[in-house]
Amino acid sequence: MTSSGPLRHARSALIWLCVLVVGLLGVLIAGVATGQTETSPKLALDLEGGTQMILAPRVDGDAAINQEQLQQAVEIIRQRVDGSGVSEAEISTQSGSNVVVSMPGTPDSKTRELIQASANMEFRPVIMAGSFNATPEDQRLADDEVPEPTGEPENASDTNWITADLYREFEAYDCEAALADRSVESTDADEPAIACDPSTGAKYIVGPVEVDGERISDATHGPARNSQGYQTGGWAVQLSFDSAGAKQFGDVTSRLVSMQGAQNQFAIMLDGLIVSAPTANVPILDGNAEITGNFSEESSQQLAEQLKYGALPISFDIQSEQQISATLGANQLEMGLVAGIIGLVLVAVYSLFQYRTLGFLTLASLVVAGILTYLALVLLGWSANYRLSLAGIAGIIVAIGLTADSFIVYFERIRDELRDGRNLVAAVETGWMRARRTIVVSKAVNLLASVVLYIMAVGNVRGFAFTLGLTAIADLIVVFLFTHPMLQLLARTRFFGSGHRLSGLDPSLLGVEALYKGAGKVRQFNPAVRPKKNTGETERRLTIAERRRAEEQQSAPGQDRSSVATKEDDNA
């Protein structure tokens, strides 16, 4: 009955591990069968090559771009690219005037549009709405019917911003043609403008800018909820402003809620193009707004990314685009894999030398950890477009040694318990209780270091940090769901339970003498009585006090090793 608990725990843990592996494998097979992914991880720019785009800054007139603006643009473009799920992209400046974007593989249209949409984010109130295409000439207003300003505009929503010339331009403006020749550009922030909304097929006359995109502090997407907190089945975008933006946005929404028709809307514009034009239902005074509409999960995520990273101070044109080859290539990949195999072999040799047959459990645990890591890399490549770089492979190689550390800590704890006189079943449980905290703390430190490195670093270093953290999690899963349960089962086998000399857990090789010998006798230290083949190891494990005591006993007058042995034999 005492062993039923550990055995049940061991079997339960192994079943959960099988469920996890089979589940991940099933998702991968489904993805491969539907043509959505492949069986191997996606490779990064340094191993696979990709696309390089050179972006030239677009300025008005003789305005110049300073280095601070260019660096800010680089950081924002980097955030946009990383936010789209593409990892290991390289963003840099060229000759102090251009931005070079190098991305692995061929970017999809969504990512390409995200990079091209490099402009200032603006919030403008809508003054008038119209059809997406130009109004047919026979349907346009007569000259005496065209609206004219009756006075100075009182706010950004005032219809007095609409002059006769602006209205005629609005009638003739064809959004479809403007988008086709990419003639949509940023406009003067202090003047009204004509803008198109491709998502709804409408065009608007919008007022001057009332909230700048730089005031956005964060933007996320998630399921839309009603006033009672229940999900409505749709998707929404949540955005928050800094203190100045919250005040400006509160003033705008307070004014718009009292207006009717198109004037109840405020347009969110990126590069002169409307990305969304929601209505204002209530005044939003705390700087936290939610945009709802006919969003899908993908479109809400895209809008959130545009809002979050849209405050780019300058705009760019794609000056050139070309395919580039891998910077390192297949040879470097093969060398990295060879280095990993060498590391694995060295760990295997050490484990078999140090722990005999028990070393095979270390190898099996490494194989399970490798399977989990491989499946995670492939599935992350599919779901999050994660790409494996040479730096990421280095992180996996380093993790082989870190993973072996966990087994060494556990096995040595078990050996300590055997030296204290416990049988193997008890030693496995007690040793696990002592080793578990050490392993968890060690992996927590590894994971924390990986997270900090990933947040603080850029480029390939992030790939190293990512795989290091990923393998730390895989290591914990393996130790808890495979290594310990397997040892619980092996401890009850005759080979390991009887302490076979090749099991790695032979008490005679560990310098073990039972603490309690029976009949009221307990173990007494006597260096003359040692297992014949473990003398060196036992001496190495003596404390300083024990060594001094042994030396005193050996140097005592009239008492030599043979007399001590004789006395011990007499006592026995």
* Gap between the Cα atoms of 267 and 190, Å rounded: 15
296: alpha, beta or left, given left = phi > 0 and alpha = psi -120 to 50? beta
Q: Is the distance from CB of 269 to CB of 124 less than 8 angstroms?
A: yes
* Gap between the Cα atoms of 92 and 70, Å rounded: 10
| Residue 35 half-sphere exposure toward CB, CA atoms < 13 A | 0
pLDDT reported for residue 568: 41
Sequence-distant contacts of 106-115: CB under 8 A, at least 24 apart: 106/50, 106/51, 106/323, 107/51, 110/84, 110/302, 111/81, 111/84, 111/86, 114/80, 114/81, 114/84, 114/302, 114/305, 114/306, 115/53, 115/55, 115/77, 115/80, 115/81
Nearest Cα neighbor of 124 from 186, 58, 200, 61 is 186
CATH class of the domain at 50-116: alpha beta
pLDDT reported for residue 19: 94
Nearest Cα neighbor of 100 from 119, 121, 81, 86 is 81
Residue 136, token pair as written in the block: 């047919």
Map out the domains of the chain as residue ranges: 14-40+325-507, 50-116, 121-295
DSSP H helical ranges for 528-571: 535-540, 544-555, 561-571
Amino acid at 351: S
pLDDT reported for residue 1: 43
DSSP H helical ranges for 457-560: 460-478, 484-490, 494-497, 535-540, 544-555
What is residue 421's three-state secondary structure?
A: coil
Residue 66 backbone dihedrals phi, psi, to 5 degrees: -90, 170
* Gap between the Cα atoms of 88 and 462, Å rounded: 8
CATH class of the domain at 14-40+325-507: mainly alpha
Task: Give mean pLDDT in consecutive 10-residue pieces for the chain, a chain of 572 residues.
Answer: 70 93 92 86 79 77 69 72 66 80 76 63 86 84 82 87 88 82 63 85 88 81 77 82 87 87 84 79 84 77 72 68 70 76 85 86 90 91 81 84 84 84 85 90 90 80 87 91 91 83 72 56 51 47 59 53 41 38
The fold of 121-295 is Gyrase A; domain 2 (3.30.1360)
Q: Is the distance from CB of 196 to CB of 179 less than 8 angstroms?
A: yes
* Gap between the Cα atoms of 3 and 1, Å rounded: 5
**Model-level pTM?**
0.58
Q: Give the C-alpha distances (Å, rounded to integers) separating 534 from 122, 373, 467, 553.
A: 78, 39, 41, 21
CA 368 to mean position of chain CA atoms: 22
